[in-house]
Amino acid sequence: MKKKRLLEISGVCGIRSIGRIAAEIAEDYEAQGWECKIAYGRLDVPEKYQKYAVKIGDRLNLAVHGVASMALDRQGLASVRATKKFLRWAEKYDPDVLWLHVIHGYYLNYELLFRWIKSRPAMKVYWTFHDCWAFTGHCCYFSAENCEKWKTGCSHCPLLKRYPSCFGLDNSKNNYARKKAAFTGVKDMTIICPSEWLADLTKQSFMGQYPVEVRRNKIDLSAFVPTEGEFRSKLHLEGKKVILGVASSWDWRKGLRDYIELSQRLSPDYAVMVVGLFEKQILRIQKNLPDRDRIREAPNVFRYRSEDQADLLCLTKTNNVRELAELYTLASVYVNLSYEENYPTTNLEAAACGTPVVTYRSGGSPESCLPENVVDPGDLEGLIKVIKRICE
């Protein structure tokens, strides 16, 4: 008798928050005797998760799909050949359960995928929403713009240049119609939302025809524990109160400018540390801090120093979980300044390492934070008061 089979589809496998969530689901099913695979589209896979990994497409596929998305607003509508090849493999694998995560990201054709799903009515399907992309004509988040077109039908998208960025044709009206046609009508699908906030939005959208469950994101509590390391001495942070922010991808919605301004408003006994930046982003920060000295502390660490303001430390990306745990433990407070958020695992990881969490009142982020540690987006004065209350 063959084992039951789980197939997950995720942009990444075993790395970043979504990739780690997918890997943890596979481990849970495997412990129950299932055979598990994770189909993914980009970046490397840690060795311990290679046994699950099935690659969809290649770099050329990503590049071509990226051009189609940026020029023609066709995110999820390219990658035809790569998707057909993957689906031939998936048909042979014959999963009993399919679990979707992020299916945008320049690697998969969603119309072909859902045509295959609908051809298998006995297959149970779960789809964890990590953002709002599934029920909009373009964007992943819309709350900062107070846009409600997604409720009735998108067109003339005001967020066209935000991820998945498009600098050409506005295809949002057509995208909305095609997504609605593709994603509705699945016989046995359940939508999983990590936050009450996203669950409420989903129920108001065309995806509200499906059962919607709230299941909080989980983290590896054996990895994210108070972990002492050498970062304080290596980065010369003795006597400093460290304010930490972590993201796998930094853009305007993650509040990067607010971290920079926060460093300008705090005194020199504080240090603001931002983790997960590209080197090009770090170099651009110099334009915002022209009067500060920039020091390269290590190959992946830049410090912007001032005599009368808090230091700003910028670190490049890390997929080393122990390093992340050490950084969370080092911090006096973890600060999430995202303007649009679902249910961030970084809040959970910081709290598991014993670090207080402060967040903007944005999306589902306050659902993992003490009410007294939540401030309105952009309220830096209120933010500083909360930080000082915790640190002093």
φ and ψ of 308, to 5 deg: -120, 10
Beta bridge partners, 335, equal: 358
Q: Do 269 and 129 share a structural domain? A: no
Same domain for 242 and 180, yes or no, is: no
238 falls within a domain: yes
Per residue in 22-47, pLDDT (tens digit) is 999 999 999 999 999 999 999 999 99
Phi, psi dihedral angles at 242 (to 5 degrees): -95, 125
Whether residue 219 is contained in a domain is answered as: no
350/329 Cα distance (integer angstroms): 7
Query: Last residue of some domain: 159, 181, 214?
Result: 214
Domain shared by 237 and 210, yes or no: no
Residue 59 lies in a domain: yes
50 backbone φψ class: left, alpha, beta (φ>0; ψ -120 to 50): alpha
In a domain, 23, yes or no: yes
Judged by DSSP in three states, 213 sits in strand
| Alpha carbon separation from 64 to 73, 79, 80, 335 (Å, rounded) | 13, 8, 11, 37
249 and 175 within one domain: no
> Are the C-beta atoms of 336 and 245 separated by less than 8 Å?
yes
pLDDT of residue 296: 86
**Main-chain dihedrals φ then ψ at residue 156, nearest 5 degrees:** 45, 60
What gap in Å lies between CA 15 and CA 384, rounded to an integer?
32
Sign of CA dihedral 381, 383, 389, 392: negative
Cα 160 from Cα 167, distance rounded (Å): 7
Residue 224 covered by a domain: no
Q: Are strands 35-40 and 5-10 parallel, antiparallel or unpaired?
A: parallel
Which of these three, 184, 214, 244, is where a domain ends? 214
pTM (2 decimals)? 0.89
* Domain contains 318: yes
The structure tokens listed for 337 are 């300044």
pLDDT at 116: 98
Which pLDDT belongs to residue 43? Answer: 92
Task: Classify residue 89: in a domain, yes or no.
Answer: yes
Residues of the chain predicted below pLDDT 50: none
How would you label 145-164 residue by residue, b for 16+ Cβ within 10 Å and e otherwise? eebebbeeebeebebbebbb
Answer with the one of 170, 189, 214 that is the final residue of a domain: 214
Question: Could you tell me the two tokens for 295?
Answer: 């020091």
**Domain assignment of residue 134, given as a range:** 5-214
Residues 322 and 384 in one domain: yes
Count of the separate structural domains present in the chain: 2
In a domain, 288, yes or no: yes
Residues 6+ apart with CB under 8 A from 57: 41, 65, 79, 82, 83, 86, 107, 108
CATH at residue 208: 3.40.50
Cis-peptide, bond into residue 164, ω within 30° of zero: yes
